[in-house]
Amino acid sequence: MSGMGEVLAREALGLVGVPFRLHGRSVETGVDCVGLVALATWRAGHRGEAPDRYALRGGKLEQFEAWLKAAGLCRAAEMRIGDIVLVQAGMRQFHLMVFAGAGFVHAHAGLRQVVAMPGESPWPVLGVWRLPG
């Protein structure tokens, strides 16, 4: 386990309960899945950029992968604590979560907040990304 991954997981867990808001990037006004990852990585000391023009549905996998790479994240072969996990939550609907060890932290649109979800991902995992170092 990397120290940075543990810090990122801890920061993501600290955001549980933050309201959901599409394109949100703050604790006060809310976050979506991209905003959750951006805020947690920024709080962990990583200064990658986050996209701001995307929809909840209709995206392309290649675009999400390009955004993760542009944010300075590295593709990983296996999942470790603090990794960012790209999943397919529906038809042409991509979603980001942070692996926290016993489950995932993600911005849940239906529950309207950031939640900690125990267990394995209920959605197909398309890729695992990690902070450098």
Query: Distance between CA atoms of 33 and 28, rounded to whole angstroms?
Result: 15
Query: Distance between CA atoms of 49 and 55, rounded to whole angstroms?
Result: 17
Q: What is the mean pLDDT of residues 1-17?
A: 90
Which among 99, 95, 97, 85 is positioned nearest to 1, based on CA atoms?
99
- Percent of the chain exceeding pLDDT 90 equals 78
Report CA Rg, the chain: 13
Q: Contact, 32 vs 22, CB < 8 A?
A: yes
pLDDT in tens, 81-99: 999 999 999 888 899 999 9
Report pLDDT for 1. 42
Report pLDDT for 46. 92
**Where does the pLDDT of residue 59 fall: very low under 50, low under 70, confident under 90, or very high at 90 and above?**
confident
Q: What is the mean pLDDT of residues 107-113?
A: 96
SS3 of 85, please? strand
Query: Distance between CA atoms of 5 and 132, rounded to whole angstroms?
Result: 9
Query: Distance between CA atoms of 128 and 123, rounded to whole angstroms?
Result: 13
Reading the block at residue 118, the tokens are 């125990």
Report pLDDT for 17. 98
Query: What class has domain 3-130?
Result: alpha beta
Reading the block at residue 126, the tokens are 């398309």
Q: Where are the domains of the chain?
A: 3-130
Comparing 14 with 48, the larger pLDDT belongs to: 14
